[in-house]
Amino acid sequence: MGKPTGFMEYDRIEAAHRPADERVRDCFDFTLPADTGTITRQSARCMDCGVPFCHAGVTLRNGVIGCPLGNLIPEINDLVYHGDIEGAYERLIMTHPFPEFTSRVCPALCEGSCTLGEHELPVTVKNIERYIVDYMLENGKIRPRVPKTRTGGRVAVVGSGPSGLACADMLNRLGNDVTVFERAERPGGLLTYGIPNMKLEKSIVENRIRIMAEENVKFALNTEVGVDMPVIRLLSEFDAVVLCCGATNERKLDVEGSALKGTHTAMEFLSAAAKRLPGNAPTGKNSINAKNKRVVVVGGGDTGTDCVATAIRQGASGVVQFEILPCPPESRAEDNPWPMWPRVRKTDYGIEEAIALFGEDPRHFLTTVRKIKGRKGKVASVVAVSVEEAAYGAETEFPADMVITAMGFTGPERALTEQLQLEVDSRGYVAANNSDYQSSLPTVFAAGDMRSGPSLVVRAIDEGRNAAIACDNYLNREKNG
C-alpha cells in the first residue's frame, strides 16, 4: 500500500459535522467537507492486509462481511493516498454506479470488516469514498457516458428507487433501450421521498437522474404500472420487464388508539417532509407537521433516527423513541466477532440532536406501546410498557400529540404481482432466485426489496445490477437462439 506504516502513525478521524444547534435550523447536509490532508492520512491507514475482508460482500451466520458491491477498497485507498482522485473514482465505478448515494447513507459495512478494525478503529472508508465523489462533482468530472452500441433490446424497469436506478443504469450500459416507470412525480423512490434531505440532498439525486437521462435512459413519471399503464401493454411493448417496486407495506401498530388522528407511518411522515422541500408542488395546509408537538417515534434503526431528526427540524417540542430491542453493547459481543458487522451501540445524528436540544437521549430500549390515548379523536398520550415487565402490567404514560411508527416493512404491495400472476413466496415477495432473478413469468425479473426483502441502499443497488445482467443475458439468449 501507499504507506506501509500509516496504520501505526495515524489515528482514525471521523467526518466533522455542523454543530447540532445550528444544523437543526435547516434541512441541509449536516456533514462538513473533509480537507485533502486529512483524507490522505486516513487513506494511508489502509493496511497491506493480504486478505481484504472489506470487499468480501458475503453473509455468514446471519451477519454481513464487507461491501455487497465488492468495491476494490484497498486499491481505491492507495490511489487516493497518491493523489490520483480521478483514478480512484474510475476504480470505484467499476463496481458501483452511484457512490454519491452510499457515501452519504450507507452504514459502511466495509468498515465493520476492515482488518485494522480487528484490534483498532477501522479505516474511514465511507469518508474517503465521499471525498472522491465530492471532488468529482465539484469539478464537473462526472459526465454522461453514452453507450456506443445498442442491442435493440427494450426493457421496462418498474420503480426508480436505488435498485431500479441501478438496474436501469446497467441495462443501458449493456446497450438496451430502457424506460423507467415511476408512479410518483419525481424519480428516486426511497432516495427522494424516504431519506431526509440533510442526509442526502435531493440535488445529488437529481444530478444523477439528469446524467442517466442524457445517457438515454427514459423516465415515465406519474405512471403507475397496472393503473396508468396496463400490464398487458407493458408486456407487449417491451422485451423484458424488471420489477424494482420495493417492499412498501409498512408494519402497522396494532394497539388500541392506533387509528387516532396524529398517528402516521414513517414513510407518510418522511414523504410529506420531502414534498415540502423547495421545488415540490404545495402539499396544502393539512400536510403532516411536527411543529410544537410532542412526538413519539415507535421503532429504531436508521428510519427511526431520520424521523427523530425530521421532527426536530419541524419544531417538535419534544421527542421520545421506543425501541423493542435491548440496548446494544458498547463493544462486540462474543457471538458477534470480527469480521462480521459489529452490533454495537451508536449515537447517530438525530439522536445527537435530540440530546443537544432536549438534554437527554430520546431512546427507551426494551419498550413497546400498549395503547394510545386520545382526546377529541386526536392523540393525547402513549402508554408504554417494558418488554421485560409486560406480563406484570407496569406502564409509563408519555404525553404526545403525534405518533410515528418506524417498525419496518412486511413486503411489497400485491396488486402488480397479482395482475401479472407471478409466483410469490410465503411472505409475498416475488419468487426469483439469486442466479437469474427471473420470476415465474420468463420475461419478468425482480430485484431489490421486492425480491429479497427490506434491506440497505447498497444491497438494493447490488440487486439491481445483478438483475440487469441476468435480464440482458436472457435477451441475448433469446436473440441468438
What's the predicted TM-score (pTM) here? Answer: 0.95
Write out the CATH class of domain 6-138.
mainly alpha
CA separation for the pair 105, 120 (Å, rounded): 24
CATH placement of domain 154-249+410-480: 3.50.50.60
Given CA atoms 463, 468, 469, 473 in this order, what sign does their dihedral have?
positive
Question: Is 95 within 8 Å of 101 (Cβ atoms)?
Answer: no
Q: Residues 107, 111, 113, 114: what is their CA dihedral angle, to the nearest 10 degrees?
A: 180
CA separation for the pair 17, 29 (Å, rounded): 9
Question: Is 380 within 8 Å of 397 (Cβ atoms)?
Answer: no
Question: Is 166 within 8 Å of 465 (Cβ atoms)?
Answer: yes
Q: Is 3.50.50.60 the CATH classification of the domain at 252-407? A: yes
CA separation for the pair 183, 172 (Å, rounded): 21
CA separation for the pair 433, 155 (Å, rounded): 20
Same fold, 154-249+410-480 and 252-407: yes
Q: What is the pLDDT along the chain (481 residues), one digit of tens a residue?
A: 678 999 999 999 999 999 999 999 999 999 999 999 999 999 999 988 989 999 998 887 767 799 999 999 999 999 999 999 999 999 999 999 999 999 999 999 999 999 999 999 999 999 999 999 999 999 999 999 999 999 999 999 999 999 999 999 999 999 999 999 999 999 999 999 999 999 999 999 999 999 999 999 999 999 999 999 999 999 999 999 999 999 999 999 999 999 999 999 999 999 999 998 876 655 555 589 999 999 999 999 999 999 999 999 999 999 999 999 999 999 999 989 999 999 999 999 999 999 999 999 999 999 999 999 999 999 999 999 998 876 666 789 999 999 999 999 999 999 999 999 999 999 999 999 989 999 999 999 999 999 999 999 999 999 999 999 999 999 999 988 7
Residue with cell 458501483: 96
Is the previous residue joined to 339 through a cis bond, with omega within 30 degrees of 0?
Answer: yes
Residue 51: left if φ>0, alpha if ψ -120 to 50, beta else—which one? Answer: beta
Residues in the chain: 481
H-type helices in 276-342, by residue range? 301-313
The three-state secondary structure class of 334 is coil
pLDDT (0 to 100) of residue 286: 53
Domain spans, the chain: 6-138, 154-249+410-480, 252-407
What cell was used for 350? 438525530
Question: Is 101 within 8 Å of 137 (Cβ atoms)?
Answer: no
Comparing C-alpha atoms, which of 110, 3, 13, 80 is closest to residue 47?
Answer: 3
Question: Is 450 within 8 Å of 439 (Cβ atoms)?
Answer: no
Residue with cell 410469490: 424
Cα 366 → chain centroid: 25
H-type helices in 106-238, by residue range? 109-112, 125-138, 162-173, 190-193, 202-214, 231-237
Question: Is 71 within 8 Å of 97 (Cβ atoms)?
Answer: no
CA separation for the pair 42, 29 (Å, rounded): 22
